[in-house]
Amino acid sequence: MALAPALRDAALRWIADDPDPATRSELQQVLAAAMAGGATGSAAEAAADATAELADRMSGPLRFGTAGLRGPVRAGPAGMNVAVVTRATAGLAAWLAAEGISGTVVVGRDARHGSAEFAAAAARVLTGAGFTVALLDGPVPTPLVAFAVRELGAVAGVTVTASHNPPADNGYKVYLGDGAQIVPPADARIEAAIAAAPAAVSVPLGPEPAPAEVTGAYLDRVATLPRSPGGPAPRVALTPMHGVGGALVTAALARTGVDDVHVVAAQARPDPDFPTVTFPNPEEPGATDALLALAAERGADLAIALDPDADRCAIGVPDTGGTWRMLSGDETGVLLGDHLLRRPAPGAPAEPLVATTVVSSSMLAAVAAGRGARSAETLTGFKWIVRAGEGLVYGYEEAIGICADPDGVRDKDGISAAVVAADLVRALAADGSSVPQRLDELAAEFGLHATAGVSVRMEPAARDAAVVRLRDAPPAGWETDRPAPDVLRLRRAGERVVIRPSGTEPKLKAYLEVVEAPGPDVAAARSRAAARLTALRTELDGILGA
């Protein structure tokens, strides 16, 4: 691949405009390698590889959507680096000013590669634009940033994190003054402001602010979560999965009387390389093996896995035979929602609202109706869940995201979720019960709701064509509706399939649910539901032509 003059010139302009000497040097080396090849042989191959890499790095900018920015840490407009973060923050500041918004902006960050530098750059751009900045001290969990926005009366919040992405990535997430993530059209307007921002080297910088502290206030808030009377405090096995949530979740549990906590030693401290897991996501196969082994070894009552920025929480429990297993996101979501509805906080609304998403289990709605509460179903993402309506007391999504305290943190929060999970186990023990028994009781009362997620690898054109085909000509026997332009829902008696294209991969995602009627024989219902899910998956393959 020959180096095109336009690509060379674009790289040179970016290098000239990059305020960070480290990434300037990095991109200069790639450009030099692309320009240094000979006509044939290994030198030509090396130059072609460097040219392809340069083209990839210059293929940006990264899209700024409702999740902010996310991408690999590297030089160039298609990476996460100081220059990109500087221009993104300049765009955010310009948008806030255009909206007539001024005041304090919270800035926080995790412990990933580049996070400290990116947070410092964002803080200085904001002070340079005339904002007061509360820069949270050290690496902090993402929920602490969302909490700080409301606690400090800030007009916005920025956190530098890539959550559970691979080690090479980082990201940039924005909260509005209500403490919730941005939603359209704010994302598009901020993106336009970023595109109009000057070169990073020309963005005015102010002083780096002094560190701000809100951890104590957050722990005070967690201590107000509903508490079950009586019952022994559970013994907990914990992994922060090389992330930043370990110290805060341990302190939060201690505030509620749970101090017998055993942490997976090899995963206890923040490490941006995540050396003991293939993928730093509690949902990934094998990611919680060390946690469950520790739980069994220590005779724990509950296993808790946080993702690296601690906004998601997965829980594991011993089943009736003593074998440990991780619960699904839907199982956890329904269990904790039911627990909170049965133990409302002081001053809770008379008609509480719980919320989940179109791809999550429909069981929470059934539980809410049985507990005299309202329920809502939203599009995927906590930016929608926390805006589900007045009186919201709880929300969850199937991807192990839980909002147990919407008035405190208007986003998913793995730390408060862990506290509620520990309280659930304590309450069940006081009643001589357990999590598996409670799952069976809920199934007997509200019906067994079995769910499964399926990803079908398809090229984008085939993927999108499949959604259009199913929308225009749904399979016989199914009713269809579209909760969103890119989401298709198929329904028939006791079965549901939600289909949507992945926004980041060449995949079509499907979420399956089968429902068995309430009744005392839960074991038989589970067996029937498992068979129905298998049959539904086979049918779906035929429908998709996979």
DSSP 202-231: GS---PPPPEE--HHHHHHHHTTS---SSS
| Contact (Cβ atoms closer than 8 angstroms) between residue 406 and residue 393 | yes
**Catalytic site residue 163?**
yes
CA 14 – CA 31 distance, rounded (Å): 11
Q: Which two tokens stand for residue 285?
A: 């196969």
Which whole-number Å values give the CA distances from 370 to 92, 340, 366, 455, in the listed order?
44, 13, 6, 33
End-to-end Cα separation, the chain, in angstroms = 35
CB atoms within 10 A of CB 410: 27
CB atoms within 10 A of CB 464: 14
Give the three-class secondary structure for 468. Answer: helix
| Contact (Cβ atoms closer than 8 angstroms) between residue 326 and residue 318 | no
Query: Which residues have a Cβ under 8 Å from the Cβ of 374 and sit 6 or more positions away?
Result: 351, 352, 353, 354, 368, 389, 391
| Contact (Cβ atoms closer than 8 angstroms) between residue 58 and residue 11 | yes
Identify whether 234 is preceded by a cis peptide bond (ω within 30 of 0). Answer: no
CA 206 – CA 158 distance, rounded (Å): 17
> Which of 163, 228, 362, 375 is an active site residue?
163
Q: Within 36-81, where are the H helices?
A: 41-57
Q: Which two tokens stand for residue 83?
A: 């220059």
Which whole-number Å values give the CA distances from 296 to 262, 288, 316, in the listed order?
11, 12, 11
Strand order in the sheet with 487-492: 448-457, 507-516, 495-501, 487-492, 479-484
Residues forming beta bridges with residue 487, ordered by sequence position: 484
- 257, with CB counted inside 10 A (0-12, 13-18, 19+), is middle
Which whole-number Å values give the CA distances from 278 to 54, 253, 281, 457, in the listed order?
28, 28, 9, 21
Strand order in the sheet with 353-357: 374-378, 353-357, 392-397, 401-403
Q: What backbone torsions phi and psi does residue 416 show, to the nearest 5 degrees?
A: -65, -30
Strand order in the sheet with 169-176: 69-72, 169-176, 156-160, 104-109, 132-136, 211-212
Q: Which residues are known catalytic residues?
A: 163
